Structure 1
Amino acid sequence: MGGGSGGGLFSSDIKGLEEKVKQRLAEAKADVSRHVFISFDHEDLDEVNLLRGQAKNDKADLQFDDHSVKEPFDSANADYIKRNIREKIDRCSVAVVYLTGKTASSKWVNWEIEECLKRGKGVIGVYKGDAPPAKTPTAFQQNGCKAVKWEHDALMRAIEEASTKR
């Protein structure tokens, strides 16, 4: 009753399958896209949209999925706004803070940084020009967050590093 053989895999078949799986995993790792929340002062929306556009450009090395707030919430209810922003933060692995002269005084940017850190997200800053602004948000300074120049390679390395160190 019942015996046993038939239809098994040969060791050469198993080795071939192993190699195919390893190759697919390597390809998937090379093509990983990070889930990013971008924190910024609303007055910097045009420049942030340029950053978003570069990340969507197939010819650019910059690659991430943006889980940020695209349009301001139509509400004066701070609890409602915070709840909706938290949902977006929860979907990301890294927060990128767009550093300008305006972000240091933005209560929302500071709150978003604090919320990201509380939720175990990596936080980095990105700036245009030769140096970051003289003042950065308090939570950014106090937590020793790293700032990088707005360049594809530097930004992607910083996103990857922040993602693995969270």
Structure 2
Amino acid sequence: MGGGSGGGLSSYDIKRLEEQAKRKLSEAKGDASRHVFISFNHEDLDEVNLLRGQAKNDKVDLQFDDHSVKEPFDSANADYIKRQIRDKIDRCSVTVVYLSDKAASSKWVNWEIEESIKRGKGVIGVYKGDKSPTNVPPAFQQNGCKSVKWEHAALMKAIEDASTKR
């Protein structure tokens, strides 16, 4: 009386379980790398790519695994885009918001911050220059998110703090 009643897991469920297991094993080993989602306005892509590049450089002490959307989704369907972004956020422990005037007025950046907080993720901001921007996305300000200067040690400490305090 064998039988395959079809009660198995879908490939999507298996992939999610695998990701969770890898994350737990990584945390148990004391892995210094963190999984982050970078939220930014697409017009800031060149600067965000510099940040990504620095994290991949073996000669600097900045380590994180970027699960952000690398290319804009080619769809006018907002629900589809939101599902894809939620999946990326779910893989991370921290959302890093690249703070700029463009990001401050971006509905998508604001939504990504709200979604990250709803999903229990730590949220921090990073900015270039010497002083913290006064113009930030509404959700960033409303939730009392902290920002740090784009400097390796400060960013890594903020990512670690946001990951453990979520």
Counterpart CA distance in 2 for 1:62 and 1:32 is 10
1:73-84 counterparts in 2 under 5 A? 73-84=73-84
Aligned partner of 1:62 in structure 2 is: 62
Aligned partner of 2:102 in structure 1 is: 102
* Identical-pair percentage: 83
1:85-164 counterparts in 2 under 5 A? 85-164=85-164
TM-align CA RMSD: 1.4
The answer as to whether partners of 1:100 and 1:127 remain within 8 angstroms in 2 is yes
Counterpart CA distance in 2 for 1:158 and 1:117 is 16
User: 1:32 offset after TM fit, Å?
Assistant: 2.0
Aligned partner of 1:49 in structure 2 is: 49
Counterpart CA distance in 2 for 1:83 and 1:131 is 35
Point out where structure 2 has 5 or more consecutive residues left out of the alignment: 1-25
Runs of 4+ that moved beyond 4 A: none
Number of equivalent positions: 140
User: 1:150 offset after TM fit, Å?
Assistant: 0.2
User: 1:132 offset after TM fit, Å?
Assistant: 2.0
User: 1:57 offset after TM fit, Å?
Assistant: 0.5
Q: Which has the larger radius of gyration?
A: 1
The two structures have a TM-score, normalised by structure 1, of: 0.82
